[in-house]
Amino acid sequence: MRVTRFAPSPTGPLHLGHAFSALTAAARAQGGTFLLRIEDIDRQRSKPEWERRIHDDLRWLGLAWPEPVLRQSERLPAYRAALERLWAEGLLYPCHCNRRDILDAASAPQEGGPRLGLDGVIYPGICRGHDRSGPLPADVPLRLDLARAAARLRDPLRWTETGEEAGERKIATDTLIDSIGDPVLARRGMGTSYHLAVVIDDAAQGITEAVRGRDLIEATPLHVLLQRLLGLRVPDYHHHRLIRDETGRRLAKRDDARAIRLYRDGGATPADIRRMIGL
């Protein structure tokens, strides 16, 4: 049976881009199950009011999903267990670098200048030599040692893309080391990071196809790598087009002007919204 999900963060209003993503995910379930998941690991920016409105806007659009809804803020023990496992395998190291430290180190002549990866400047490995012995440290930022992780997996990463450029994907793990750098898997005060939480929860919820925007396409090889390291099922991935404003810029949370709420208040119907986003 097919299981898809829409996984918004309750940090602002849902806009037309979210409506497109949610409706696409629900349609891709094709009679299976469509799930809502609240990605609220960022406790500073997540607000109950935004969460309430997400439920309300999605229901108004005609979507339905089983309750209870999984909220990532309630899943910290599951993330912790995954970190314990990676730590025990020597694949994580504590890292206290801030943006400035990373930029400075990446700008050193021998590094060849800062290059951008998944989450900003590619991490130049400053803390890679830090102590990895003893128990998993509590509430310390942790990075994945990509080179070591890649060495664990002999064969390339494989998954199926079902979006616009559908087909089988295969990536050598070495390519990853060079293009994304050691990612943060636990942030201070969060106990996880987006990359770790999304992978653990997609597996826990039995997601068969992860439907999301093309802006996340570059994170997919890392997600497949984490699935392989943690022995989790690799879902299919469907990266859909992004909804853009008149100037061609993709919509972001701050684009309140395109908030579904505003169109609702202005008298638009769910059918109008579908038309606006080309569905």
Q: Which residues bind ligand GLU (CB under 6 A)?
A: 7-9, 39, 198, 210, 212, 216
Q: How far is the CB of 124 from ligand GLU (least distance, A)?
A: 27
The smaller minimum CB distance to ligand GLU, of residues 8 and 141, is found at 8
Q: Please tell me the distance from the alpha carbon of residue 13 to that of residue 49, in angstroms, as a whole number.
A: 10
Question: Which CB atom, from 130 or from 240, has the smaller least distance to ligand GLU?
Answer: 240
**Pick from 230, 219, 211: which is nearest to 120 by CA?**
219
Pick the closer one to ligand GLU by CB: 7 or 184. 7
d(CA 6, CA 2): 14
At its nearest, how many Å lie between ligand GLU and the CB of residue 198?
A: 5
Q: At what angle do helices 194-204 and 220-229 cross, to 10 degrees?
A: 60
- Minimum distance of ligand GLU from residue 134's CB (angstroms): 33
Question: Measured at CB, which residue is nearest to ligand GLU?
Answer: 212
Q: Choose between 37 and 132: whose C-beta lies nearer to ligand GLU.
A: 37
The minimum distance between CB 53 and ligand GLU, in angstroms, equals 14
Q: Which is closer to ligand GLU, CB of 173 or CB of 220?
A: 220
Rounded to 5°, the CA angle 112-122-136 comes to: 130
Residues 97, 165: Cα–Cα separation, whole Å: 37
The residue among 70 and 147 lying less far from ligand GLU, judged by its C-beta, is: 70
Q: How far is the CB of 85 from ligand GLU (least distance, A)?
A: 21
Encoded tokens for 12: 């602002």
Asked if 89 and 82 touch (Cβ cutoff 8 Å), the reply is no
Buried b (16+ CB within 10 A) or exposed e, 218-230: ebbbbbbbbbbbe
Minimum CB–partner distance for residue 257 and ligand GLU (Å): 19
46: helix, strand or coil:
coil
Residue closer to ligand GLU by CB (options 132, 239) is 239
Q: How far is the CB of 88 from ligand GLU (least distance, A)?
A: 27
Distance of alpha carbon 243 from alpha carbon 252, whole angstroms: 10
Contacts of 214 (CB under 8 A, 6+ apart): 163, 164, 239, 240, 241, 242
